[in-house]
Structure 1
Amino acid sequence: MARVLLCGGAVVTLSMGIRHGFGLWLQPITQEMGWTRESFALALAVQNLSWGLIGIFTGMLADRFGASKVLVFGALLYALGLAGMAWAPNTLIFTLTAGLLIGMAQTGTTYAVIYGVIGRQLPAEKRSWAMGVAAAAGSFGQFFMVPVEGQLIASLGWQNALLVCAVLVLTIVPLAFALREPNFHALKRSAAGGQQQTIAQAVAEAFRNPSFLLLTAGYFVCGFQVMFIGVHMPSYLKDFGLPPHVASYSLALIGLFNIFGTYLAGTLGQRMAKRYLLSGIYFIRAIAIVVFLLVPLSPWSVYVFAAVMGFLWLSTVPLTNGAIAQIFGVQHLSMLSGFVFFSHQIGSFLGIWLGGYLYDHTGSYDVVWYVAIGLGVFAGLVNLPVKEEPVQRLPLAA
């Protein structure tokens, strides 16, 4: 168990830590290359959309062949995408590398694949807690990597900083070998409880289940909120005259407080109804944004907002994935998590792209902040009716 948590946490730390800092590259790249904010935002929006769509099929591969092979391929794609992002001569190549290629890479190096390993290796009574630990590792990556990325950009320039990150992400490869599952097929049979579902049967069962659809709708909102804030917050703060280090520190604070938030969410999810915890998270996010917009903007108001949002940032991840595992079991967990995450990434696409689009056309992020508030209330409501009881299956034909 310790090996799975340590190595899986390290993978998520690197993968999520690097991606959480992409907003720091928005102004250096657009200013030097003469691109609009919308063009940069579109590339990262494509990244999130491709991550979500391709993640469904990556989850199928991980459920079928195990996580280690998928992790190695994902790490290589990630490094290639970062290098291509550094050398992209125009917005089309930038979108293909920063968008499509890195999005594909993240399908194989983040939560869905790691949670598949956790689900198979750990008993049900520790699963939500372990998912919280893995999510906390992603938060530590944000806390640790975002300031590092800011320093790399300041000292080496944005292109060389991306190349250094490309080298760093290759350390996922040896971690992938440490996550190999010699008893993979035996664990799958055990997880299925003697009833081997096909992919088609698992998908049909999930999409007939109202709770799966409600969790999917809520996760859409999570993606919209966190990616809008993560990508556009640095530019929003600079527009109001705050120095660049305020943005770096605020993103780092989000990562720091999310370590505690995700761990607590995973722990509470083992003891309490996950639907109530999810609803509370979304409602509090909406309130936090309202307060942030009403109070005078200052470094300290930014830091307080970052701390509150950080506590809620990825706390939805162990709860949502834990609920899916609780309802449907873990035989097809990576794939089903991939479907729900696709909804998250559609939200991410809209949050990133809409932020850039409306800024370029209105000169302000105000409308997107208001949308984020309304969506938070919506997500809080739709999670309340989720039923977390395991599905009752008839014996499958041999």
Structure 2
Amino acid sequence: MSRTALWVAIISAAATSSMAMGIRQTFGLLLLPLSGEHDVAPWAFGLAVALHNLVWGLAQPVSGAMADKHGAGRVMAYGGLFYLVGCGLPALFPSNATVLIGIGLFTGLGVASAGTGMALAAIGRLAPPEKRGEYIGIASAGGSLGQAAMVPIVFGAIGWFGAAGALMTLAISALVIIPIARNIEWRPAQRAPGAAAPAGIAGLPALARNALADRDFALLTGGFFACGFQLAFLTTHLPSHIALCGLPPALGMTALMLIGLFNIPGSWFCGWLSARVKPENALGWIYMVRTVSIALFAFATPTEWGTMIFAAVMGFVWLGTVPLTSAAIARRFGVSNLGALYGVCFFSHQIGGFLGAGSGAVLYSMSGTYAVFWPVMVVVGVMASVLNWMAKAPGQRAALPA
């Protein structure tokens, strides 16, 4: 592949993941408006976001295997259609049921098909090995750019058109994914001589069993649980927590936007770092930085400046786990099944996301506060650091058999 074609693919992957990740990062802004305008219960919205995370996790190995075998671009185009249905259904018929079906099911399929998992699988195969982590980091940063852009757009749309109008804005925006996806591995990538053929959906169970039998891959997968647990809770409930603390509601928008902005350099830096240090060590430190930041934010007196500093620090390491995790997987097993293997690891991430978003919603519905949840976030983060620091250096391995 020429250098120009590679950069077109990288920019296109960043753009599609930007839209896919940016849309889902705005869901936390919709919880209170949907409740006030359309009587959508907070528990239903929280459960929908939790279900979104679970569906994303279940679908990611399947969509990754399809991308490995048939090309990531085609899978990403379907993601745009899933997002159209997922946001459009509750926009036209807002209710507890349509929020659960639309946001819970269809947007989960959408982000599994068009999010960073697809971007890293495609770029991981197209990029030269010495630049793989850095280029994946650039593509991952696209998801952050989308968050920085979509958060103020949705916040403004809620004020202008209401929550349903904001959801319709997201539905229409998702259509941009379809034409851009044609620039990203529209056909299956050519395999290097001697590389294993992609396992495909039929070979996915055996591929997952073989990967999880590897001790260090299992530790990596266990640590990824904390990433989903912490980030899903913050994405869904941080704006509400800020409002409950008596701070201006617009600060929730600002915090989410700062997370997206600071993750742009953070994702690139973590991708650059993945070629220079042991990825598991770097992941352990990322989880520790997050955990210390969460502890300081949760137990200090809430202020506007404190919230913005917290958002900036969290943003810098927000999606940094993506290039580091994918680099660790590629070093162990090669890139032929990178999409599927990342999906297997990512399923743990999304179980964490389901529990983080869902239990936060249940807690808020029962007590009207998130106070007792923050210590749990700290414990989970410390455990993730320990799991990654226990992993041995990956080394280069032969690809797993299909």
Residue of structure 1 in register with 2:295 after alignment: 290
Residue of structure 2 in register with 1:71 after alignment: 76
Shift of 1:396: 7.3
- Tell me how far apart the structure 1 counterparts of residues 196 and 106 of structure 2 sit (CA, whole Å): 37
User: Do the aligned partners of residues 230 and 392 (structure 1) sit closer, same or farther apart at CA in structure 2, a change above 3 Å counting?
Assistant: closer
1:113 corresponds to which letter in structure 2? M
2:96 matched to 1:91?
yes
From 361, 375, 382, give the equivalent of 1:356.
361
From 96, 112, 123, give the equivalent of 1:118.
123
Aligned residues: 393
2:336 matched to 1:331?
yes
TM (normalized to structure 2)?
A: 0.94
Aligned partners of 2:88 and 2:167 also within 8 Å: yes
Shift of 1:115: 1.3
Deviation string for 1:147-194 (max 9, x for gaps)? 111111111211112112211110111111122445x35x2x31x734
User: SS where residue 114 of structure 2 aligns?
Assistant: coil
2:143 matched to 1:142?
no
Residue of structure 2 in register with 1:166 after alignment: 171
User: SS where residue 383 of structure 1 aligns?
Assistant: helix
1:344 corresponds to which letter in structure 2? H
User: Do the aligned partners of residues 88 and 215 (structure 1) sit closer, same or farther apart at CA in structure 2, a change above 3 Å counting?
Assistant: farther
- Tell me how far apart the structure 2 counterparts of residues 298 and 394 of structure 1 sit (CA, whole Å): 50
Aligned partners of 2:94 and 2:164 also within 8 Å: no
Deviation string for 1:284-310 (max 9, x for gaps)? 111111111232211111101111111
2:85 matched to 1:80?
yes
Gaps of 5+ in 1: none
| Identical-pair percentage | 38
Deviation string for 1:81-127 (max 9, x for gaps)? 11012123431222011110110111110122111111111111111
Shift of 1:36: 2.8
- Tell me how far apart the structure 1 counterparts of residues 138 and 100 of structure 2 sit (CA, whole Å): 33
Gaps of 5+ in 2: 1-5
Aligned partners of 1:43 and 1:95 also within 8 Å: yes
1:172 corresponds to which letter in structure 2? I
From 22, 39, 42, give the equivalent of 1:17.
22
Deviation string for 1:122-142 (max 9, x for gaps)? 111111111111111111111
2:268 matched to 1:263?
yes
**Aligned Cα RMSD in Å?**
1.8
2:159 matched to 1:132?
no
- Tell me how far apart the structure 2 counterparts of residues 230 and 159 of structure 1 sit (CA, whole Å): 19
Residue of structure 2 in register with 1:234 after alignment: 239
Residue of structure 2 in register with 1:308 after alignment: 313
Deviation string for 1:270-327 (max 9, x for gaps)? 1111111111111111111111123221111110111111111111111111111111
Structure 1 segment 203-218 matched on structure 2, within 5 A: 203-218=208-223
TM (normalized to structure 1)?
A: 0.95
User: SS where residue 242 of structure 1 aligns?
Assistant: coil
- Tell me how far apart the structure 1 counterparts of residues 20 and 172 of structure 2 sit (CA, whole Å): 12
2:68 matched to 1:54?
no
Shift of 1:393: 4.4
From 202, 221, 224, give the equivalent of 2:207.
202
2:30 matched to 1:29?
no
Shift of 1:394: 9.7
Aligned partners of 2:211 and 2:400 also within 8 Å: no
- Tell me how far apart the structure 1 counterparts of residues 18 and 28 of structure 2 sit (CA, whole Å): 17
User: Do the aligned partners of residues 168 and 89 (structure 1) sit closer, same or farther apart at CA in structure 2, a change above 3 Å counting?
Assistant: closer
Shift of 1:392: 4.2
- Tell me how far apart the structure 1 counterparts of residues 223 and 357 of structure 2 sit (CA, whole Å): 18
- Tell me how far apart the structure 2 counterparts of residues 35 and 67 of structure 1 sit (CA, whole Å): 36
Shift of 1:197: 6.4
Aligned partners of 1:274 and 1:323 also within 8 Å: yes
User: SS where residue 296 of structure 1 aligns?
Assistant: coil
- Tell me how far apart the structure 1 counterparts of residues 183 and 277 of structure 2 sit (CA, whole Å): 33
2:220 matched to 1:220?
no
From 391, 397, 402, give the equivalent of 1:386.
391
Residue of structure 2 in register with 1:193 after alignment: 194
- Tell me how far apart the structure 2 counterparts of residues 118 and 34 of structure 1 sit (CA, whole Å): 43
- Tell me how far apart the structure 2 counterparts of residues 382 and 137 of structure 1 sit (CA, whole Å): 28
Residues 81-90 or 154-163, more deviating:
81-90
- Tell me how far apart the structure 2 counterparts of residues 7 and 393 of structure 1 sit (CA, whole Å): 30
Moved over 6 A (4+): 394-397
Residue of structure 2 in register with 1:104 after alignment: 109
User: Do the aligned partners of residues 392 and 118 (structure 1) sit closer, same or farther apart at CA in structure 2, a change above 3 Å counting?
Assistant: closer
User: Do the aligned partners of residues 377 and 169 (structure 1) sit closer, same or farther apart at CA in structure 2, a change above 3 Å counting?
Assistant: same
Residue of structure 1 in register with 2:3 after alignment: none
Aligned partners of 1:237 and 1:247 also within 8 Å: yes
Residue of structure 2 in register with 1:176 after alignment: 181
Aligned partners of 1:327 and 1:388 also within 8 Å: no
Shift of 1:16: 0.7
